[in-house]
Amino acid sequence: MADLITHSCVALLWKAATTPAVKADARWRIPPTVATFVLGTCLPDLIGRVPSMGLMTLRWSVPQIPEWSVYVWSPFHMPLGILLCSGLVAQLFAPGMRRKAAVQLAGGGILHMAVDVLQTHLGIGYLLLFPFSMWDFELGWIGSEDTVRIVPVLLPLTLLACWARWRSKA
């Protein structure tokens, strides 16, 4: 959970720094692309990690679940899978918004990977070129569990930055 909060905060900070507010009805509000971008930063974990964790837990009580079903989700947490997933999820948007949604979702997914490669893991790093290469990469600047300690500082800073950026000007 802390990892999803960290990714969402980083996405909001990125958008607060790079996206101007839009004026509507004499009030300023958060641009609609922000929510799509934040969703894009969460999709790699929601699709590539959550089903695996759920199936792994379920396998302890229902051993008939095949082992491959636990690992089949992993490519959605890799760059090519993120792009594919972004395109598929964008199809849920209105036809005129699909292209913009796909770009925002993919951009969020790429930011997700950029944050993830900062981490170090006990096992292999991130397979950034999968399926073309099994070369793994990570910078190892922070531990993968450090997000639990980062959230209490990052969340209020993010809320303050977003409030300052998109507060009502009316």
State the DSSP H helix or E strand holding residue 56, giving kind and residue range, or none if neither: helix 50-61
Predicted confidence at residue 170, as pLDDT, reads 43
Predicted confidence at residue 111, as pLDDT, reads 95
- Residue 161 phi, psi (nearest 5): -65, -45
Predicted confidence at residue 82, as pLDDT, reads 94
Please give the DSSP secondary-structure letter assigned to residue 141: S
How long, in residues, is the chain?
A: 170
Predicted confidence at residue 167, as pLDDT, reads 72
pLDDT tens for residues 52-86? 888 888 888 877 888 888 788 888 888 999 999 99
Q: Quick check: 11 and 111 in contact, CB under 8 A?
A: yes
Predicted confidence at residue 39, as pLDDT, reads 95
Domain ranges of the chain: 2-18+31-166
Predicted confidence at residue 28, as pLDDT, reads 57
Nearest to residue 10, comparing CAs of 118, 138, 140, 131?
118
For the chain, 170 residues long, the average pLDDT of each consecutive 10-residue run is 84 87 61 90 90 84 80 86 94 94 96 89 75 80 81 90 71
